[in-house]
Each structure stands twice: as C-alpha cells, then as structure tokens.
DNA sequence: CACATATAGTTGCAATTGAAACGATTATAG
DNA sequence: CTATAATCGTTTCAATTGCAACTATATGTG
C-alpha cells in the first residue's frame, strides 16, 4: 500500500514487544483483577460487576438518578438501566420518580441492598488490601498518582482521530 | 457531601468510595486507553485490538501455533481462532499445518501483514510515548515495576474461590 | 399556544463474546 | 495393538454488549 520500505534488512525493525506495551499490560492487569473479583461476587452474592458498582455508589450517594449513577460508575446508561432492573427484581434497589421532573428516576438501596453492601464491601476492601500488601504508603501514593496522571493524559489525548502528522488545521466536522 | 460524622450508627459505615478503589480505577483507565486505541486502529487500518495483538506477536515470533499466540496475547483460544480467520481472509496472516503434529497450526505474517505492522507499530509506540510524556525515566520504571508486582500478586491470590483458608501452593506455572 | 429541540430512561436488534461440545489428531495405558 | 485419554483448533449456542430508535417528559422560541 505504501512505498516499499527502503530498509535493507527489515525483518525485525518494526517489531513491538507486546509485553512491554503499556496499554496491553494495563489491559491484562485489569482483566486479571476484574475476573478474579467477578468470580467471587458471582459465586458468593450472585452479583455482576456492574451491579456491584451500582450498589456501591448508591451506598455512598443515596437518592441519585440513573444518569448520575452512570457518571459515577463510568458505565453506559443502557448498562445502568439493565443492571438497575435486575437489582430491582432482586429487591435490592428501590426506584421512584422525581416529582419535579418525572423523566428522572430516584434510586436508592433497599434494606436488603444495604445489608448486601455490608457484606460485599468488606470483601472488596480486603481484596484490594491483599493486592497492595507489598506496597508501602509512599508506593501506594505514587501508584495512585501515576494512574491519575495517565487517565488525565488519556482523556487529553482523546479518541486519537485522523492524521496526527500534519498540524491540525482544525478541520473538525461539527456534525 | 458526606453525612455528618455525628451518627456512629450503621448508615455509612460500609460505604466504599468507588473512585478510590484500585480495581475500579484500573478498569476505567484501561478501558479509556483501549477504546482510544481501538478507535484509531479501526478507523485507519480496519483492525480490532485482538487482530492487532496477533499481528504484533507474529511480527515478533513468526511461525508459532495458535495456542502459543493465545498465551502470548493473553487471549482466549476461541478469540484467537476467530481473529486469525479474519486476518487470513484479509490475506494478512498465513496458515500452515505442522508436519510432525497435524493438529497444530503454524501462523505467520504475509507480506501484506508485515507491511501493515510497519504502519501500525509506530502509531502504537507514539501513542504510548504521548501517554508517558510527563513521566521521567525513574517514574516510568517505577510504574512498570508496580504493575508487574500487582499482576504477580493478582495471580498469586488467584480466582478468590471459596474458603481462603489453606494457602494453596501458588501454581503460577509458566509451563 | 404551537412547535421544535433537548433530556431521561427503555427497548430492539445486530454484533461480540464465552462455555461447552465437537472432530481430528496424537499420546498413554494395559 | 487396542482402548482410553489428552490436545489443538473449530463450531455451536446462549448470554452480554453497544448502537440507534423509541417513549415520555421537559424546555425554549416565535
């Protein structure tokens, strides 16, 4: 597709080591941890991770709308809607409509939901503690800070749209 | 925002702050970065992340089997099979059978696959470089090390099955 | 008021994914 | 040698997901 590479001995010159590639390593790490947790939640409490997230956030911020839940959990609104419905079916979450804006829902934990949270939260916290066991306070702080910086940077860089080669002539489609 | 600490009662004693919870933060960070990359790969090269991983690993280790690809990419064998089929359809990957064990496949990049890798790899590396722009060499090393430790720890802790009683001999086999 | 536009949440549909069953081949036990 | 088990990769089927369309409310404009 492009002009043939003029490299004389090209066999390995563009090889990339997946094991050193930060996005790959992050993905493997995150998936490993998430599936360990997901297995435990499912097995012991019948909860998925989206459901657990909703319960956690409602424990901390009662009486918020589905949209706010979506923001605070970094979940899609569709995922929130479906997970909330399952939780309602299990009588773990209560659902009202906001009187002043009747599109808006007001979600909160039921008694059972709060009881479940009291069971799940310690397990989650204990798991995190085991993960970080070998890290001293300074290392923990540095790790947290590094993740914060990376996330900020990833959001700044953004969706990586076309051609970073030419200086962007701000030809951004607005529709 | 937080309830007044006056009540030593039950209401908030198990609240967990999702934003501080390491597995959640890792998941958000990884998803943010992965979807930025996925968008760019799809748009510019018509590649998914599984496909990109396979191309990268075949660029570095030619003539390996699907099973080895699965190990090296941390992908499921089913996912590898499907992605390899798409790549074969696009004439980016070649597929032979091992003569001494005819169950085993031998995969390698075609000429086009190598050309594509030469285009994609620099973009991937550049993206990673932008992510890490603000990190000095020591910070990079510490970050890499921290991730390594966390992954090892997560594998040690394992699937978090029932009864964290007897510490099983950690079978972190690397075959 | 009538109309267009915007927002909250749900639903339908197609694509993706994962677990288990499968066919083909090779390895092991008796 | 034969029967059984294990391995590699594919296929099948069901569950999950993501996107767009949809319903219902709400707001803003002439």
Tokens describing residue B155:
């594998």
Predicted local confidence at residue A119, as pLDDT: 94
Contacts of A144 in chain B (CB under 8 A): 25
Could you tell me which of A143, A151, A71 has the C-alpha nearest to residue B32?
Answer: A151
pLDDT (tens place) for every residue of chain A, 175 residues total:
444 444 444 444 678 999 999 999 999 999 999 999 999 999 899 999 999 999 999 999 999 999 999 999 999 999 999 999 999 999 999 999 999 999 999 999 999 999 999 999 999 999 999 999 999 999 999 999 999 999 999 999 987 765 443 333 333 332 2
Tokens describing residue A63:
């009486």
Predicted local confidence at residue A13, as pLDDT: 60
Contacts of A155 in chain B (CB under 8 A): 32
Cβ of residue B32 closer than 8 Å to a chain A Cβ: yes
Contacts of A164 in chain B (CB under 8 A): 126
Cβ of residue A141 closer than 8 Å to a chain B Cβ: no
Distance of CA B68 to the CA centre of its chain: 15
Contacts of A25 in chain B (CB under 8 A): 144, 147, 151
CA distance B133 to B139: 11
* Rounded distance in angstroms from the CA atom of residue A173 to the C1' atom of nucleotide C17: 33
Question: What DSSP element (H or E) covers A94?
Answer: strand A93-97
Q: Do B159 and A25 touch (CB under 8 A)?
A: no
CA distance A110 to A94: 6
Predicted local confidence at residue B15, as pLDDT: 83
Return the residue of A nearest to B74 by Cα: A28
* Rounded distance in angstroms from the CA atom of residue B122 to the C1' atom of nucleotide C30: 58
Q: pLDDT tens-digit profile of A118-160?
A: 999 999 999 999 999 999 999 999 999 999 999 999 999 987 7
Tokens describing residue A174:
């607005």
Q: Do A34 and B28 touch (CB under 8 A)?
A: no
What is the DSSP code string of B84-132? HHHHHHTTSEEEEE-SSSTT-EEEEE-HHHHHHHHHHHHHHHHHHHHHT
Q: Do A159 and B40 touch (CB under 8 A)?
A: yes
DSSP, collapsed to helix, strand or coil, labels residue A162 as coil
Q: Do A26 and B30 touch (CB under 8 A)?
A: yes
pLDDT (tens place) for every residue of chain B, 175 residues total:
444 444 444 445 678 999 999 999 999 999 999 999 999 999 899 999 999 999 999 999 999 999 999 999 999 999 999 999 999 999 999 999 999 999 999 999 999 999 999 999 999 999 999 999 999 999 999 999 999 999 999 999 877 765 444 334 333 333 2
Of all protein residues, which has its CA closest to the C1' atom of D11?
B78
Could you tell me which of A163, A154, A24 has the C-alpha nearest to residue B132?
Answer: A154
Tell me how close the Cα of A8 comes to any Cα of chain B, in angstroms: 14
* Rounded distance in angstroms from the CA atom of residue A76 to the C1' atom of nucleotide D17: 10
User: In this structure, which long-range contacts are made by residues B34-37, counting pairs with CB atoms below 8 Å and at least 24 apart in sequence?
Assistant: B34/A23, B34/A26, B34/A27, B35/A159, B36/A154, B36/A157, B36/A158, B36/A159, B36/A160, B36/B127, B37/A23, B37/A160, B37/B124, B37/B127
Measured CA distances, B4 to A52, A59, A172, B11 (Å): 25, 15, 48, 11
User: In this structure, which long-range contacts are made by residues B89-92, counting pairs with CB atoms below 8 Å and at least 24 apart in sequence?
Assistant: B90/B46, B92/B55, B92/B116
Maximum alpha-carbon separation in chain A: 73
* Across all strands, nucleotide nearest A35 (CA–C1'): C18
pTM here? 0.86
CA distance A91 to A101: 24
């Amino acid at each position: 597709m492009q002009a043939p590479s003029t490299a004389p001995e090209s066999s390995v010159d563009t090889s990339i080591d997946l094991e050193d590639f930060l996005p790959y390593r992050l993905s493997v790490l995150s998936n490993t941890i998430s599936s360990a947790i997901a297995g435990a939640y499912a097995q012991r409490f019948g909860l998925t991770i989206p459901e657990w997230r909703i319960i956690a956030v409602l424990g901390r911020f009662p009486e918020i709308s589905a949209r706010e839940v979506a923001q605070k959990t970094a979940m899609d609104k569709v995922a929130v809607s479906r997970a909330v419905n399952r939780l309602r079916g299990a009588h773990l979450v209560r659902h009202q409509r906001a009187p002043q804006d009747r599109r808006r829902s007001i979600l909160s934990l039921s008694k059972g939901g709060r009881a479940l949270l009291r069971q799940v939260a310690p397990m989650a916290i204990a798991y995190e503690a085991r993960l970080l066991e070998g890290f001293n306070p300074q290392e923990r702080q540095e790790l947290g800070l590094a993740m914060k910086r990376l996330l900020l940077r990833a959001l700044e860089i953004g969706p990586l749209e076309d051609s970073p080669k030419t200086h962007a002539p701000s030809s951004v489609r607005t529709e």
